[in-house]
Amino acid sequence: MATIKFRFEDKSLPDVIAENVESDISILEATELYGVHLSHNCGGVCACSTCHVYVMEGEDFLEEISDKEEDFIDRAINPRIESRLGCQCVILDDDALIEVIIPDQSLIIGHED
């Protein structure tokens, strides 16, 4: 089973280590299973950029980025080379080790605590 380390731009939040994460689910789905807040205004169907994350390690364990995802990342707050949409980052390998930084969610329109 995969392991995901969630770090946060909001330094008041502690890191979360999600262990025994099944493959074939997305980073967004993993956040929901492990109680990590990640906005997803479109419901996780690659129609917005609110589930924007930075994948710092383990990119090779995730589905490749699509043209559609790249288009929406361009609309995200502070996109970087490590930017992905959590809804599109499907885990491909049970032995994956992934590290993700969750951007400050208070900057997202429609943000809920």
Q: Give the mean pLDDT per block of 10 residues along the chain (113 residues).
A: 96 96 97 95 92 98 96 94 97 97 83 50
- List pLDDT tens digits, range 15-44: 999 999 999 999 999 999 999 999 999 989
pLDDT the model gives residue 112 = 52
Q: What pLDDT score was predicted for residue 33?
A: 96
Q: H-helix or E-strand containing 72?
A: helix 67-73
Q: What integer pLDDT is reported at residue 109 of this predicted model?
A: 64
Asked if 98 and 62 count as a contact pair (C-beta separation under 8 A), the reply is yes
Q: For the stretch 34-59, what's the b/e string if a residue is b when 16 or more beta carbons lie within 10 angstroms of its beta carbon?
A: eebebbbeeebeeebbbbbbbbeebe
Domains of the chain, residue spans: 2-106
How many other C-beta atoms can be found within 10 angstroms of the C-beta atom of residue 21?
A: 19
> What pLDDT score does 108 carry?
76
Q: Could you tell me how far CA 8 lies from the centroid of its own chain?
A: 11
Q: Is the domain defined by 2-106 classed in CATH 3.10.20.30?
A: yes
What pLDDT does 52 receive?
Answer: 97
Exposed, middle or buried: residue 72 (CB in 10 Å: 0-12, 13-18, 19+)?
buried
What pLDDT does residue 107 have?
77
Question: How many other C-beta atoms lie within 10 A of the C-beta of residue 100?
Answer: 27
